[in-house]
Amino acid sequence: MNSQVFLRRLGILVVKLLPLKLADDIATMLGILLYNLLRKTRSYIETNLQHVFHEDSPDPEQFNRYVKNTFVNYARAMTDFLRLSYITIDGFNVADSGCDRIGEALKLKKGCVLLSLHIGNWDYAGAYLAARGVPITALVEEIDPAMLSLYTKHRERTGMRTFPVSKAAYAFINAIKHNRALAILADRDIVGNGVPVRFFSGKRKIPRGLGEIIIKKKMPVLLSYMIFDTSKMWRYRCVIEPPVFFSGGVEEFNTYMVKQLEEIIKLYPDQWMVFHPEWIA
């Protein structure tokens, strides 16, 4: 068995046996350990945050706290991802804001796009919405086949469907034909052929063709994300904004998208979990 798959399966067993508080404590310790050990990855997070805080940088102590918290939040999110192998609808601990807006958008019978990013816990969000009865499909990154198979079982267990990013066109066709919500994480260029855009104080690439399809098919777009609830009243907070329609050009769409993603990241900088060197000259 693939060693990574074995570790994930072991993790599923561990989180199933442990109380949530203890699992969280272990995840926190693991996140801090990775923060100290993975220097190269830490440098990527530091670069991300330097761009985010280019106008108003926090003091060094607070900045390092954001970096460390990013590792801790990722470890906690992964713990909850492993729980998706057995969680029930009653097991989701989510403050829901705007879920009914998806149903309103789907009344137009054109499908809709849930525009999101790698923040908080996107897999948990998809599983939660599916468990709530939302007909949702998600584009997912293509990884090691054995790991992808395991992840797919997690993601689709509550009813969500997935398509690899290489088959994005088929995912759009399926969403429109069957009137489904298509979740897309638009802050990374997974395929490698993305469009360079200004992002905070630097440049990144966003998925190519996204705006063209949305505009051509007149699909409603709902900005959506799920973050750890900073008030601690709930474990997560799910935010789904009202649908937006685009009749202009692709540049208008890209400008809107980048601005919205930046605003979300600025609100939750230590929940933006991008561990790759993706800034370009």
The predicted-structure confidence for 180-230, as pLDDT tens digits, reads as follows 999 999 999 999 899 999 999 999 999 999 999 999 999 999 999 999 998
At residue 49, does pLDDT exceed 90? Answer: yes
Q: What is the pLDDT of residue 93?
A: 94
Q: Which residues contact 192 (CB under 8 A, 6 or more apart)?
A: none
Dist. CA 224–CA 116, nearest whole Å: 5
Dist. CA 218–CA 214, nearest whole Å: 6
The predicted-structure confidence for 124-155, as pLDDT tens digits, reads as follows 999 999 999 999 999 999 888 888 888 898 89
> Of 255, 182, 251, 246, nearest to 216 (Cα)?
246
Q: What is the pLDDT of residue 65?
A: 97
Q: What mean pLDDT comes out for the span 260-266?
A: 98
- DSSP helix/strand/coil, 106: helix
Q: What mean pLDDT comes out for the span 47-71?
A: 96
Question: How much is the mean pLDDT over the chain?
Answer: 94
Q: Are 277 and 130 in contact (CB under 8 A)?
A: no
Percentage of residues of the chain with pLDDT beyond 90: 81
At residue 235, does pLDDT exceed 90? Answer: yes
Q: What is the pLDDT of residue 11?
A: 87
At residue 273, does pLDDT exceed 80? Answer: yes
Model confidence, pTM: 0.94
Q: How confident is the model at residue 118 (pLDDT cuts 50, 70, 90)?
A: very high
> Poorest-confidence range of 1-10, 25-34, 157-166, 219-228?
1-10
The predicted-structure confidence for 164-182, as pLDDT tens digits, reads as follows 999 999 999 999 999 999 9
Q: What is the pLDDT of residue 10?
A: 87
The predicted-structure confidence for 79-113, as pLDDT tens digits, reads as follows 999 999 899 889 999 998 899 999 999 999 999 99
Q: Are 229 and 95 in contact (CB under 8 A)?
A: yes
Dist. CA 214–CA 104, nearest whole Å: 17
Q: Which residues contact 280 (CB under 8 A, 6 or more apart)?
A: 196, 202, 203, 204, 205
Q: Are 219 and 109 in contact (CB under 8 A)?
A: no
Q: What mean pLDDT comes out for the span 53-64?
A: 93
Tokens of 134: 């939302």
Dist. CA 127–CA 160, nearest whole Å: 6
Q: What is the pLDDT of residue 1?
A: 62
